[in-house]
Amino acid sequence: FFGKGGTVQNYYVYHGGTNFGRTTGGPFITTSYDYDAPIDEYGLKRFPKWAHLKELHKSIKLCEHSLLFGNSTLLSLGPQQEADVYTDHSGGCVAFLANIDSEKDKVVTFRNRQYDLPAWSVSILPDCKNVVFNTAKVRSQTLMVDMVPETLQASKPDQWSIFTERIGIWDKNDFVRNEFVDHINTTKDSTDYLWHTTSFDVDRNYPASGNHPILNIGSKGHAVHAFLNNMLIGSAYGNGSESSFSVQMPINLKAGKNEIALLSMTVGLKSAGPYYEWVGAGLTSVNISGMQNGTMDLSSNNWAYKIGLEGEHYRLFKPDQGNNQRWRPQSEPPKHQPLTWYKVNVDVPQGDDPVGLDMQSMGKGLVWLNGNAIGRYWPRTSPTDDRCTPSCDYRGKFSPNKCRAGCGKPTQRWYHVPRSWFHPSGNTLVVFEEQGGDPTKITFSRRVATSVCSFVSENYPSIDLESWDKSISDENPLAAKVQLSCPKGKNISSIKFASFGDPSGTCRSYQQGSCHHPDSLSVVEKACLNINSCTVSLSDEGFGEDPCPGVTKTLAIEADCS
């Protein structure tokens, strides 16, 4: 991009965010708005991406004068290899060497020098001689971050309180219609929830046949929980590609009066696309098939509507709103119970690491800490056949299916809780659960950097971008090196893997190759153990004799931080 004269790079998103409260980037978008950004939603730098981009920026900065004031020339270096060269009136020269081949590495000759170009990569030469950056040669360390669980420490012995939502119209209805209304126009986005209730009679001789009737629901989106005679009979949802849905639920009716209550829900509003303000939500049809007389259409029944939840009306999520009398204390909270509010007083997680709330044991709902809305939670399991790949190959053009991960896992398990929301004591966690879950398994987790890795080869750029001066540098005499650094306050406590030779793999799964220097571990331990950061040169005298002449050597290291 920059080699071809690009001028503006929009890093959206550079710092990942969180959709606190009911804000989202659109329907069915997770509360996390992280997108694998260079700085994650917890405020931690994501290595190697952050550092690799930093090196790119510094490399482009070294090319500044020639890029802005020079003239460009395109040179062919091979069938799929080329050089964009910028020269200016002061004699400055900048080159971008590109290998467009998406499969094969190439060695090219430019100005009587040879340069190694990995497949689908670009090298930057701020002086048309020395390579300071290659897109595929990531010399920065990889920082592995884990969510370390902590028990949800309750501040009081009788820790839990609950409030159970009434199903359907929990107070005087807001209005009655013999049709369905648009969900968003009705709620004005004041809540995710809109109740619809109706009733109908069934002949006392029902059923005449052994077939179960089917409740059929159509909706523009986004989700619905269906209750028959105060029992949850099923739930249905659209998805990120298509918000609308239809669902069929087998039901058991009773003779006489039957009551249906449907809780329609939104999960974020559309925020882009043509005429998105006209994209509605809500129920469109309800009928029961398989009845004695065929299909019973309930769409034109009298439907009573109620906007929002009873708990929302009483502001149960605000601990200082004088609503304590509505809560019912319990030493053990009910599990797998729909439409239930939970309240518990908790202690602050130890340390100063960023905090996430692990909601894997719950279904779907909303959660607050001290009245601050953490957001919607919905640890819905992603499809197992969603084209995930065990490893990621950067080569070739990008597509939305490229390098997918997390298939068969919750779309979001941990929910960011800013530490500034915690009080020194007396913290109140409130959870509203729609479907049913186990609140006793909710935990806080600390986001902790636990290990660092690096994988650097002899042919990687070795110039120190912080101090290099192209005006006085003609050659590149330095050997490539590995630099490891634990977060502030932590040291390298152990070396899990070290190999100088031809190792392979990725962080936490490195493997020795056919070439391995036997002193690899001792050299790295001597340089790195029990200190915060270290540097190991690939020309370190400790490696001594070349273990495999003629082979490009690589040094791979994995180390623990504690």
What is 236-291 written as a DSSP string? EE--SS---EEEEEE----SEEEEEEEEEE-SS---SSTTGGG---SEEEEEEEEE
Instruction: Provide the token pair at 30.
Output: 């997770």
Q: Which residues contact 383 (CB under 8 A, 6 or more apart)?
A: 407, 408
Q: What is the mean pLDDT of residues 275-295?
A: 93
β-pair type (160-164, 340-346): antiparallel
| 273 & 154 share domain | no
Q: What is the mean pLDDT of residues 336-353?
A: 95
The dihedral over CA atoms of 338, 344, 347, 350, expressed in degrees to the nearest 10, equals: 0
Residue 76's Cβ-side half-sphere holds a number of Cα atoms within 13 Å equal to 3
To the nearest 5 percent, what fractions of the chain are helix, strand and coil? 10, 40, 55
Greatest extent of the chain over all pairs of C-alpha atoms, in Å: 99
| 184 & 207 share domain | yes
CATH number, domain of 440, equals 2.60.120
Q: Is residue 431 part of a domain?
A: yes
| 325 & 424 share domain | yes
Q: Is residue 239 part of a domain?
A: yes
Q: What is the mean pLDDT of residues 195-212?
A: 81
| 292 & 332 share domain | no
Q: What is the pLDDT of residues 155-187, one digit of tens each?
A: 665 689 999 999 999 999 999 999 999 999 999
pLDDT of residue 390: 81
Alpha-carbon gap, residue 444 to 375, rounded angstroms: 15
**Cα–Cα separations (whole angstroms), residue 154 to 70, 159, 346, 440, 444:** 66, 6, 4, 11, 12
Q: Which of 423, 447, 471 is the last residue of a domain?
A: 447
pLDDT over 90, % of the chain = 83
Contact 542, 489 (CB under 8 A): no
Q: Which residues contact 477 (CB under 8 A, 6 or more apart)?
A: none
Q: Which domain holds residue 433?
A: 147-164+321-447
| 344 & 428 share domain | yes
Q: Is the pLDDT of residue 250 over 90?
A: yes
Q: Is residue 73 part of a domain?
A: no
Alpha-carbon gap, residue 13 to 7, rounded angstroms: 18
Q: Which residues pair with 218 in a beta bridge?
A: 246, 285
The three-state secondary structure class of 324 is helix
- Of the candidates 14, 17, 57, the one whose C-alpha atom is nearest the C-alpha of residue 38 is 14
Alpha-carbon gap, residue 489 to 486, rounded angstroms: 8
Q: What is the pLDDT of residues 530-550, one digit of tens each?
A: 999 999 999 988 898 899 999
Alpha-carbon gap, residue 26 to 44, rounded angstroms: 25
Q: Is the pLDDT of residue 459 over 80?
A: yes
Q: What is the mean pLDDT of residues 3-16?
A: 93
| 251 & 346 share domain | no
Mean pLDDT score across all residues of the chain: 94
Backbone angles phi, psi at 354, to 5 degrees: -60, 155
Q: What is the pLDDT of residues 63-87, one digit of tens each?
A: 999 999 999 999 999 999 999 999 9
pLDDT of residue 320: 81
Q: Is residue 495 part of a domain?
A: no
CATH number, domain of 210, equals 2.60.120.260
Q: What is the mean pLDDT of residues 11-22?
A: 94
| Amino acid code (one letter) for 271 | S
Alpha-carbon gap, residue 301 to 200, rounded angstroms: 9
| 302 & 351 share domain | no
| 263 & 287 share domain | yes
H-helix or E-strand spanning residue 485:
strand 481-485
Alpha-carbon gap, residue 142 to 483, rounded angstroms: 10
Contact 115, 124 (CB under 8 A): no
- Of the candidates 319, 414, 310, 408, the one whose C-alpha atom is nearest the C-alpha of residue 360 is 414
Alpha-carbon gap, residue 377 to 366, rounded angstroms: 6
Q: Is residue 290 part of a domain?
A: yes
pLDDT of residue 158: 62
Q: What is the mean pLDDT of residues 369-377?
A: 98
Backbone angles phi, psi at 489, to 5 degrees: 90, 0
Backbone angles phi, psi at 474, to 5 degrees: -110, -35
Q: Which residues pair with 160 in a beta bridge?
A: 330, 344
| 252 & 301 share domain | yes
pLDDT over 70, % of the chain = 97
- Of the candidates 13, 166, 22, 40, the one whose C-alpha atom is nearest the C-alpha of residue 447 is 40
Assessment of whether the complete model's pTM goes beyond 0.75: yes
pLDDT of residue 153: 64
Q: Is residue 180 part of a domain?
A: yes
Number of domains within the chain: 2
| Amino acid code (one letter) for 489 | G
Q: What is the mean pLDDT of residues 507-527?
A: 97
| 301 & 188 share domain | yes
Task: Return the ∠ at Cα 282 (arms to 252 and 172), rounded to 5°.
Answer: 75
| 263 & 328 share domain | no
Q: Is residue 89 part of a domain?
A: no
pLDDT of residue 154: 63
Q: What is the mean pLDDT of residues 357-365?
A: 98
Alpha-carbon gap, residue 100 to 78, rounded angstroms: 10
Residue with token string 């969510």:
147
Contact 164, 337 (CB under 8 A): yes
Q: Is the pLDDT of residue 505 over 90?
A: yes
Give exposure, 258-270, as e/b (b: 16+ Cβ within 10 Å): bebbbbbbbbbbb
Q: Which of 447, 463, 478 is the last residue of a domain?
A: 447
Q: Which residue has the higher pLDDT, 343 or 467?
A: 343
Contact 161, 326 (CB under 8 A): no
Q: Is residue 25 part of a domain?
A: no
Q: Which residues pair with 561 in a beta bridge?
A: 492
Alpha-carbon gap, residue 261 to 283, rounded angstroms: 12
How would you class 367 by CB atoms within 10 Å of its CB: exposed for 0-12, middle for 13-18, buried for 19 or more?
buried
- Of the candidates 134, 91, 95, 129, the one whose C-alpha atom is nearest the C-alpha of residue 112 is 129
| 220 & 151 share domain | no
Q: Which of 389, 417, 447 is the last residue of a domain?
A: 447
Backbone angles phi, psi at 427, to 5 degrees: -90, 135
Alpha-carbon gap, residue 296 to 461, rounded angstroms: 73
Alpha-carbon gap, residue 177 to 220, rounded angstroms: 18
